[in-house]
Amino acid sequence: MNIFVCLKQVPARDSLIRVNTAGDWIDDGDLSFEMNEPDAFALEEGLRLKEKHGGEVVAVTAGPARSASTIREALAKGADRGILIEDDRFAQSDALATAGALAAALSKEKHDLVLTGLQSDDAGFGQVGVILAELLGLPHGTIIMEVVAEGIMEVSAEGSSIRVKRELEAGWFQHVEMPLPALLTIQSGINKVRYATLIGIKKAKSKPLQRYTPQDLGVELASRQSIRRLYAPKSAKQTQFLEGSPKEAAAKLLEKLRFEARVL
């Protein structure tokens, strides 16, 4: 089974994020970046499916040159090869533009299953997977909790199909079947992601990494959503910060909760 996992590199989770002087994007000069956490679960799911059913896992990203390190991390964890579509504008591109570039690269490849994370921790569109399915003409399922492997490679009269468990809202779930090839967006937390081993890191260096530019793929990278202003949200509430030693702050808090908010 040929599994493609789409990954995004985003600012590290605990980064202090500052708005640039123009006020329209972040100041990313001294930020450190990491693999988008929801995508790490998609990668893990892809690696597990490959271990069960054979085939290869290809890690794909569309991003600035720095994103190569996220592909290398995926290769170190067990992906067989990588594809990087490189352009600085991907840092701010809308989901349609990003998915368009990914679709152009994936349409050159034979894919049985395409996986993405649920959403990115930076732009948070939560759309690239679903749009990619539309552009590639694939059926899709989102917020997948489980890829039911039984019968996954069984070829019936209509071809092979897959059974997945989707999360609905408010504690409801649903099984859905669909033919392959298909695209799934993976719910975070459904598996325990592995760490790269030293041997894995060593091996990653010799694994192939295909680089494209949007031009190579005949893609015009035009985002139609543009950020006019980026700013710290106005506090919805007037927060009273309680200071002092932990003991003092705790005492002040309890007093406020008893006599000011009157909730204790």
Query: What are 160-166's contacts with CB under 8 Å, separation 24+?
Result: 160/112, 162/113, 166/141, 166/142
Alpha helix ranges (H) inside 78-167:
95-106, 128-136
Q: How far is the CB of 167 from another protein (least distance, A)?
A: 7
Cβ(6)–Cβ(128) below 8 Å:
yes
Instruction: Give the type of residue at 222.
Output: A
Q: How far is the CB of 256 from another protein (least distance, A)?
A: 6
Q: How far is the CB of 174 from another protein (least distance, A)?
A: 5
Residue whose CB is less far from another protein, 25 or 88 = 25
Q: How far is the CB of 198 from another protein (least distance, A)?
A: 26
Residue whose CB is less far from another protein, 76 or 90 = 90
Residue whose CB is less far from another protein, 65 or 249 = 249
Cβ(56)–Cβ(81) below 8 Å:
yes
CB atoms within 10 A of CB 26: 16
Residue whose CB is less far from another protein, 165 or 203 = 165
Cβ(12)–Cβ(34) below 8 Å:
yes
Residue whose CB is less far from another protein, 54 or 137 = 137
Q: How far is the CB of 76 from another protein (least distance, A)?
A: 23
- The pairing of beta strand 140-148 with beta strand 209-212: unpaired
Query: What's the rounded Cα separation, in Å, for the pair 117 and 20?
Result: 28
Residue whose CB is less far from another protein, 81 or 256 = 256
Q: How far is the CB of 119 from another protein (least distance, A)?
A: 9
**Region of residue 174 (left: phi > 0; alpha: psi -120 to 50; beta: else):** beta
The CB-side HSE value for 181 (13 A sphere, CA atoms) comes to: 19
